[in-house]
Amino acid sequence: MRSTQVLVVGAGPVGLALAGELRLGGAQVEVVEQRATPMTESRASTVHALSAELLDQRGLLTALGPPDPVRTGHFAGLPLDLGDVPSPRAGVWKVPQTRLEAVLTGWVHGLGAVVRRGTALRSLRQDADGVEARLEGPSGPETVRADYVVGCDGQDSTVARVGGFDLAGTGPQRHLLRADLTGVDVPTRRFERHPRGLAVSATDPSGLTRIMVHRRNWGPANDAGPPAPDDIIDAWHDVTGDDLSGARVVWADRFDDTCLHATRYRNGRILLAGDAAHRQMPVGGQALNLGLHDAFNLGWKLAAHVTGRAPDWLLDSYDEERRPEAARTLALIRAQTLLLLGGPEVEPLRTLLAELMAYPAVRRQLALRISGLHIRYGSPTPLDPAVGRRLPPDLLGPADQERLRTLLATGRGVLLDRGKAGWLLLRPDGYTAAAGTADTDPAPELARWFPADPRPVPTLTTGQEDSHGQM
């Protein structure tokens, strides 16, 4: 029986991002993935501002492709400017999931994580000291002993099923078809509501067209498998009147409006992240982004815990911070789902929403929510308004921003010394853990957040050419 400190189940974007964060924190990591090879289709492709910031902190954003975000997103299909938010990475970054997984895979391999493909989880048994995972690999059954197991294995999570987790919410009520096509010219349709259903289509620079279609009378899917090409073509014609009979279907699936949420993210030594913890309709890329936020929140905390550098409360804060935030996001997704897939009865609500979105304050609040930039962790009334938030993009000059990015890329916390303006203690995920005035000693907060770390937390003194001393 081999052993590891953390076993991550699932090598999608969430599992890979988590594995990288764990390795940055010094934890031993093994990732298992039941697929023998990486996916060739990109189910998700939307990266919002907060996720782009988190990836940029680790030096990964530039590897994903040219920095060319678009400003226009949507809320329930109504156009929404996502470029006017306080972030150096504002907008919508279109990154195919295949590309994101490839970059993350290279990152985690470079950090020394072990990734085993073609290996499925069969069962878990935990005790006071760890978790025993029974796996089925290319050579047959095997067992791994881990201090902790994290399920990043998607909506049909085996970890959630065998790990003692309950999910609450609403099951499927409607389903949609989704497909990638070539061989035909498909007009762009941005969440078009027709009398017979909903149609969405967009073509990428390579000529591949992604379509999504919902017939108004469709309830839950009767078949869990991928739809036949004729079913997709017929549904598109029924809703839009367009003929796609010459199209080649490269990939297709069906999905629904399930909205379920784990009642806890931690059961002893077993945890959930990403779609394993929250199952939602993939509206506007929220599922991928929500999962990435989970991974960057959990990784440094679990690494500090398994390496003996953090008390148990820090690991508990993962559930305390992420589960309420996911609940808020799922409510937002549910509202959009009803406004998109509902019949004529929702038109008065859509009209009212469009009128409200004419107000800048409404647009800004929705843009912050969708971009992930509204998040404040911890107390709703902290002593300093910076605590629990990310740094405002205009707080530091360009040189200091670059120095901070270099320090955060190592997965360490950073003490930001602003001279007479006071100090800020940043967590490894970039959120502000604590703040103080110039005459306040940061030592108690350093001891609270990084109590047993033998490495001094690096200090960035702003406005100086020689950027960092040690504290």
Q: Is 414 within the bounds of a domain?
A: yes
**Token pair recorded at residue 210:** 């992604």
Please give the Cα distance from 324 to 244 (Å, whole number).
Answer: 43
**Would you state the pLDDT for residue 339?**
97
The arithmetic mean of pLDDT across residues 403-418, rounded, is: 96
In this prediction, residue 35 carries a pLDDT of 97
Same domain flag for 252 and 263 = no
Q: Is residue 85 part of a domain?
A: yes
CATH number, domain at 351? 3.50.50.60
pLDDT score of 347: 97
Tell me: do 243 and 267 sit in the same domain: no
Amino acid (1-letter code) at residue 84: D
In this prediction, residue 199 carries a pLDDT of 97
In-domain check, residue 318: yes
Q: Which of residues 353, 371, 389 is at a domain's end?
A: 371
Same domain, 252 and 268: no
Look at 57-66, 187-196, 429-438 and tell me which has the smallest mean pLDDT. Answer: 57-66
The Cα 324–Cα 230 span in angstroms is 42
Alpha carbon distance 234, 217 (integer Å): 14
Q: What is the pLDDT of residues 208-223, one digit of tens each?
A: 999 999 999 999 998 8
Distances in whole angstroms, Cα of residue 188 to Cα of each of 41, 324, 337: 20, 36, 21
Q: What is the pLDDT of residue 381?
A: 67
Tens of pLDDT, residues 340-350:
999 999 999 99
* Joined tokens for residue 379: 């107390």
The residue type at 73 = G
| Mean of pLDDT over the chain | 94
Looking at residue 246, which CATH number applies to its domain? 3.30.70.2450
Asked whether residue 144 falls in the same domain as residue 33, the answer is: yes
Residue among 19, 7, 43, 1 at smallest CA distance from 295? 19
For 418, other C-beta atoms within 10 Å of its C-beta total 17
Mean pLDDT to the nearest integer, 158-178? 97
Q: 411 CB contacts (<8 Å, ≥6 apart)?
A: 21, 24, 25, 58, 299, 300, 303, 428
d(CA 469, CA 461): 8
Band of pLDDT at residue 464, cut at 50, 70 and 90: low
- Residue 66: inside a domain, yes or no? yes
Q: How far apart are CA 284 and CA 215, in angstroms?
A: 20
Contact 38, 79 (CB under 8 A): no
pLDDT for 64-101, tens place per residue?
987 678 889 999 999 999 999 999 999 999 899 999 99
Range of the domain at 187: 175-256
pLDDT average, residue stretch 403-414? 95
Q: Which two tokens stand for residue 72?
A: 């226009």
- Written as one letter, the residue type at 221 is A
State the pLDDT at residue 471: 37
Residues near 323 by Cβ (< 8 Å), separated by ≥ 6?
A: 261, 262, 264, 265, 277
Is residue 287 one of the residues assigned to a domain? Answer: yes
263 and 313 belong to one structural domain:
yes
**In this structure, are 199 and 232 located in the same domain?**
yes
Examine the domain organization and report whether 24 and 129 are in the same domain: yes
pLDDT recorded at residue 469: 41
59 within domain boundaries: yes
Q: Report pLDDT for 166.
A: 98
DSSP string, 13-61: HHHHHHHHHHHHTT--EEEEESSSS--SS-S--EE-HHHHHHHHHTT-T
| Residue 425, CA distances (Å) to 123, 242, 287, 428 in order | 41, 57, 30, 10
What CA–CA distance (Å, rounded) separates 209 from 186? 7
Structure tokens at 40: 């060739």
Give the rounded percent of residues in the chain with a pLDDT score beyond 70: 97
Q: Helices 360-371 and 312-341, interaxial angle, to 10°?
A: 120
The last residue of one of the domains, among 223, 256, 289, is 256
What is the C-alpha separation between 200 and 220, in angstroms, rounded?
A: 20
Element (H, E) at 325: helix 312-341
Q: What is the pLDDT of residue 465?
A: 47
Count structural domains, the chain.
3
The answer to whether position 392 is within a domain reads no
- Final residue of a structural domain among 232, 256, 280: 256
Q: Report yes or no on 242 lying in a domain.
A: yes
pLDDT single digits (tens) 119-130: 999 999 999 999
Predicted TM-score (pTM) of the model is 0.95
Same domain, 322 and 441: no
pLDDT at 225: 86
Each residue's pLDDT tens digit, 439-459:
999 999 999 999 988 888 999
Copy the structure tokens of residue 102.
């490839």
Angle at 129 (CA atoms; ends 123, 135), nearest 5 degrees: 20
Residues 60 and 26 in one domain: yes
CA distances from 262 to 163, 165, 175, 292, 314 (A): 12, 7, 22, 17, 20
pLDDT at position 304 is 97
For residue 112, give Cα distances in angstroms to 19, 55, 192.
Answer: 10, 19, 46
pLDDT of residue 223: 80
DSSP result, 333-398: HHHHHHHHH--GGGHHHHHHHHHHTTSHHHHHHHHHHHHTTT---S-SS-SSTTTTSBPPTTSS-H
pLDDT at residue 470 tops 70: no
How high is the pLDDT of residue 383? 72
**Mean per-residue pLDDT for 58-65?**
92
Minimum mean pLDDT range among 125-129, 292-296, 378-382, 413-417: 378-382
Q: Are residues 6 and 142 in the same domain?
A: yes
Q: Work out the end-to-end distance of the chain between its first and last CA atoms, rounded to an integer number of angstroms.
A: 42
